[in-house]
Amino acid sequence: MAEESAIFRLEGVTKTYGGVTALRDVSLSVSGNEYISLLGPSGSGKSTLLRVIAGFETPDRGRVFFNGRDITNIPAHERGIGFVFQNFALFPHLTVYDNVAFGLANGEKQVSRDEIDRRVREAIGLVGLAGMEGRGVHQISGGQKQRVALARTLVMAPSLVLLDEPLGALDANLRNRMRNELRSIRETLGVTFLHVTGSETEALAMGDRVVVLDRGRIAQFAKPDDVYAKPATPNVAHFLNRYNVFDGTLKDKTFTGPFGSLAVSATTPSDKSAYAVRYDRMQVEPDGSKGSGPAIPATFVASEYLGSSVMYFFETAEGKVIEVEHHLSLGAPKTYEPKSRYMLRWKPDDAIVFG
């Protein structure tokens, strides 16, 4: 991607708070018309990254570019970048209409009343709240408040919208519905959304591409299916919550871990050695089964029904929990005897070996 076509670009951005480094030398370039998810565990620097792009924080080092212009030292309100807060940050005493109109009516740029009215009604319609213009924001549900917060941002016609855990305050049902709506609203507008989330499911479901942050650095920036199938580091595999990640050492194409020593063919270069196997690629066999391929004995602890699959939790002799996922499309749920030993087996080709 040519740099000129990037809608925003970070170059070597570092941000520290006292002794804490929140962002370390982050470089990132995103072109227009994309849904980008920003995933990482709590404290990995997601909010800081968003705040640096928005202009609420100034980086200690590095530059921020937006539409080809260096905005590192431009104040937030002059950047023309939209921001949707997790807690909505609406004006409680104003109606839906007035909340959405506020930025246009009180901005530095003069906008005619007719134009404000047209744009406010359009934004309210876009988020599915037509007919609710006159309601006070204390008279609407959490999901509707989130839509007002979105409409209030979109009415300013930003080409980049930053969303800080926008679905975090919603219940699970509503969150699923809003995921689809956010994606379709973004597609309608053709603008770029950068959506911060701590949920791997949300990040993979929503992003055209996913940025994974790990301790202030970008660990991976790729399409969701690539992140899912080919996590770049052991920590990314861990954050995805879909892989059993075993510690160990890799030497001369042999990985030594809690299951013994295994010859490995392909490896993923990484500064930490680890061996990862997806939850749904592990087979449960009776204790002492003599099948072929790598395996580890473990005791069955509990299971959890997830609707389309069942998760089984096992524990190794060293106390490591191993998760096995059984998709119900592949057959009825299995039952295992609590506290009994089983053999968990996988195909060598299903392992990702880091080191």
Contact 309, 280 (CB under 8 A): yes
Amino acid at 23: L
**46 lines the binding site for ligand ADP (CB under 6 A):** yes
**260 lines the binding site for ligand ADP (CB under 6 A):** no
Of 6, 28, 37, 47, the one binding ligand ADP by CB under 6 A: 47
Contact 246, 332 (CB under 8 A): no
Neighbour count for residue 252 (Cβ, 10 Å): 5
Shortest gap between Cβ of 159 and ligand ADP (angstroms)? Answer: 24
Nearer to ligand ADP, 45 or 355 (CB): 45
**91 lines the binding site for ligand ADP (CB under 6 A):** no
What residues contact residue 176 under an 8 Å CB cut-off, 6+ apart?
none
CA–CA dist 267, 232 (Å, integer): 11
**195 lines the binding site for ligand ADP (CB under 6 A):** no
Q: Which tokens sit at 205?
A: 């479901």
**19 lines the binding site for ligand ADP (CB under 6 A):** no
CA–CA dist 315, 301 (Å, integer): 7
Nearer to ligand ADP, 163 or 351 (CB): 163
The DSSP string of 202-248 is HHHHH-SEEEEEETTEEEEEE-HHHHHHS-SSHHHHHHHTSEEEEE-
**20 lines the binding site for ligand ADP (CB under 6 A):** yes
Neighbour count for residue 280 (Cβ, 10 Å): 15
**58 lines the binding site for ligand ADP (CB under 6 A):** no
Of 22, 101, 140, 210, the one binding ligand ADP by CB under 6 A: 22
Amino acid at 109: K
**270 lines the binding site for ligand ADP (CB under 6 A):** no
What residues contact residue 342 under an 8 Å CB cut-off, 6+ apart?
284, 285, 286, 287, 297, 298, 299, 300, 314, 336
Of 9, 39, 40, 186, the one binding ligand ADP by CB under 6 A: 40
Shortest gap between Cβ of 16 and ligand ADP (angstroms)? Answer: 8
**355 lines the binding site for ligand ADP (CB under 6 A):** no
**248 lines the binding site for ligand ADP (CB under 6 A):** no
Shortest gap between Cβ of 7 and ligand ADP (angstroms)? Answer: 22
Contact 236, 213 (CB under 8 A): no
CA–CA dist 299, 109 (Å, integer): 67
**235 lines the binding site for ligand ADP (CB under 6 A):** no
**What is the widest separation between alpha-carbon atoms in the chain?**
78
Nearer to ligand ADP, 165 or 323 (CB): 165
**55 lines the binding site for ligand ADP (CB under 6 A):** no
Q: Sign of dihedral through CA atoms 225, 228, 231, 236?
A: positive
Shortest gap between Cβ of 50 and ligand ADP (angstroms)? Answer: 8
Residue 103 three-state SS? helix
Which segment (39-47, 127-135, 185-193, 278-286) binds ligand ADP by CB under 6 A? 39-47
Which segment (42-50, 59-67, 105-113, 169-177) binds ligand ADP by CB under 6 A? 42-50
**17 lines the binding site for ligand ADP (CB under 6 A):** yes
Shortest gap between Cβ of 268 and ligand ADP (angstroms)? Answer: 24
**42 lines the binding site for ligand ADP (CB under 6 A):** yes
Shortest gap between Cβ of 269 and ligand ADP (angstroms)? Answer: 26
Q: Point out which residues bind ligand ADP (CB under 6 A).
A: 17, 20, 22, 40, 42-48
